[in-house]
Amino acid sequence: MAVEVAGGPMKGKLVLRNISTLFSGDLANPVLDADTIVAVDGRISAIGRAKDLDTENAVLAVDAKGSALAPGLIDSHCHPAFGDWTPRQNQLGWIESCVHGGVTTFVSAGEVHLPGRPKDRLGVKSLAIAAERAFSNFRPLGAKVLAGAPVPESIMMEEDYAELAQAGVKRIGEIGLGTVNTGPEAKKHVEWARKHGIETIIHTGGPSIPGSNLISRDVVLEADPDVISHINGGHTALPKGCICALCEQGRGAVEIVHNGNERAALIALDAAKGLGILHKVILGTDAPAGSGVQPLGILRTLVFLSSFGGLAAGEAIALATGNTARIRKLEGGLIAPGMPADFVFLDRPQHSAGKTVSEAIELGDIPGIGMVVIDGVVRIARSRNTPPADKVPQIE
């Protein structure tokens, strides 16, 4: 297994030029009128036309060669364990594989697959704190894995959330994967976590694997979490009326995942569009899981929502970047000054019926990734996992 430590951001100036389509990650303005980005010490400092920017004295310059660029993709829902290993499918290197799918930030929805996962109060807290610390120090291909998401158990008390918050835990794992699974109990744990500044999420739909629980519309509404995790089921979805009711009445963000019910994903998307709450829709994979590991899971989900759900390519990308970052309180997800220099170069895949990357996505083709940059550091060149991009950037 490759060993990667947190090496810190690139030092000095990075210039990216000759970008064709610049996806901003901002749903309100998904494509920028610009062809060049300048970053200094791993953060974006300027965006615009090459002729208007100071591009001199770059430590590293990349010629995009006319490929498009988007913010690094964010997976709002994954289940890491330790290292770049998933016990669920006993597979190594899944995080690196996902970086080859354009994902630069991974948000844990609970380290639930750890063999022998502890369920006592001290054990739940210790695992979360250890996972948070371990992934702060371990970054496969530079990926940012935000782990340490304790799964609420009935025996936990308010003071446990206070202690977790003090130890640096920012998010719980999915309510419903542990012993908290009724409306009143879920509500109590959400209130405790929220009081201590910890973000709350809840499994939605039928049980994911034998031993987990159904979480119904009424439980979700009573719990009132910050994120309605996999509103399209993980895998088993609630009926259409319940999905629409959650979009309409739930305060939480609407999360659509790859490892869910695809028909239900379109129902949720349509409901969100109709209600004018597309800014609350975020994307995840819910992997690794029984369905395996999907290195292209976020790309596949955004392409699916664009091609079947009628979103413009830039809007679909914004769900997987700017929306997720804003709702999950992460740095990044936007091409804007001050943001981390996390980028994905992408282009239409070779021989796509789409003439541009946007057209290819809207026609249902997975774009080709030509390069991934994290904190200003070039982490991969042409992806080993996507179809080959027509145009690929070059380091000058």
Nearer to Zn ion, 93 or 234 (CB): 234
Residue 20 CB, shortest distance to Zn ion, in Å, is 38
Nearer to Zn ion, 125 or 203 (CB): 203
Nearer to Zn ion, 113 or 382 (CB): 113
DSSP tag of 355? S
Alpha-carbon separation of residue 284 from 76, 185, 325 (angstroms): 4, 26, 12
Residue 80, SS3 per DSSP: coil
Nearer to Zn ion, 225 or 234 (CB): 234
Residue 146, SS3 per DSSP: strand
Nearer to Zn ion, 209 or 353 (CB): 209
Q: Kindly identify the residues of this chain, within the stretch 27-66, that bind Zn ion according to CB under 5 A.
A: none
Residue 75 CB, shortest distance to Zn ion, in Å, is 14
C-beta separation of 59 from 11 below 8 A: yes
Residue 99 CB, shortest distance to Zn ion, in Å, is 23
C-beta separation of 67 from 19 below 8 A: yes
Counting contacts by CB under 5 A, is residue 205 touching Zn ion? no
The edge-to-edge listing of strands for the beta sheet with 103-108 is 73-78, 103-108, 144-146
What track of x and - describes contact with Zn ion for positions 91 through 130 (by CB under 5 A)?
Answer: ----------------------------------------
The structure tokens listed for 332 are 């990044």
**Interface stretch with Zn ion, choices 32-40, 139-147, 163-171, 195-203 (CB under 5 A):** 195-203
Q: Which ranges of 310-367 does DSSP label H, i.e. alpha helix?
A: 313-318, 324-327, 357-362
Q: Rounded CA gap, 324 and 340, in Å?
A: 15
**What is the widest separation between alpha-carbon atoms in the chain?**
62
Beta strands 43-48 and 36-40: pairing type?
Answer: antiparallel
Residue 275 CB, shortest distance to Zn ion, in Å, is 23
Counting contacts by CB under 5 A, is residue 328 touching Zn ion? no
Residue 226 CB, shortest distance to Zn ion, in Å, is 15
DSSP tag of 140? G
- Among 25, 71, 142, 234, indicate the residue that binds Zn ion (CB under 5 A): 234
CA 98 to chain centre: 11
Nearer to Zn ion, 234 or 393 (CB): 234
Q: What are phi and psi of 277, to 5 degrees?
A: -120, 30
**Interface stretch with Zn ion, choices 233-241, 267-275, 320-328, 365-373 (CB under 5 A):** 233-241
Counting contacts by CB under 5 A, is residue 203 touching Zn ion? yes
Q: How many residues bind Zn ion (CB under 5 A)?
A: 3
Q: How many helices (H) and strands (E) does the chain have?
A: 11, 20
C-beta separation of 203 from 181 below 8 A: no
Residue 220 CB, shortest distance to Zn ion, in Å, is 12
Q: Rounded CA gap, 341 and 37, in Å?
A: 9
**Interface stretch with Zn ion, choices 24-32, 82-90, 93-101, 197-205 (CB under 5 A):** 197-205
Nearer to Zn ion, 234 or 288 (CB): 234
DSSP β-bridge partners for residue 345: 69, 371
Residue 177 CB, shortest distance to Zn ion, in Å, is 6
Q: Kindly identify the residues of this chain, within the stretch 161-180, that bind Zn ion according to CB under 5 A.
A: 174
**Interface stretch with Zn ion, choices 32-40, 201-209, 317-325, 339-347 (CB under 5 A):** 201-209
**Interface stretch with Zn ion, choices 82-90, 181-189, 229-237, 366-374 (CB under 5 A):** 229-237
C-beta separation of 271 from 243 below 8 A: yes
Q: Rounded CA gap, 367 and 344, in Å?
A: 11
Nearer to Zn ion, 294 or 358 (CB): 294
Nearer to Zn ion, 220 or 389 (CB): 220
Residue 227 CB, shortest distance to Zn ion, in Å, is 11
Residue 229 CB, shortest distance to Zn ion, in Å, is 6
Q: Which ranges of 138-279 does DSSP label H, i.e. alpha helix?
A: 158-166, 183-195, 217-223, 240-249, 262-275
Nearer to Zn ion, 178 or 349 (CB): 178
Q: Rounded CA gap, 258 and 299, in Å?
A: 9
**Interface stretch with Zn ion, choices 6-14, 226-234, 355-363, 365-373 (CB under 5 A):** 226-234
Can you give the binding site for Zn ion, defined by CB under 5 A? 174, 203, 234
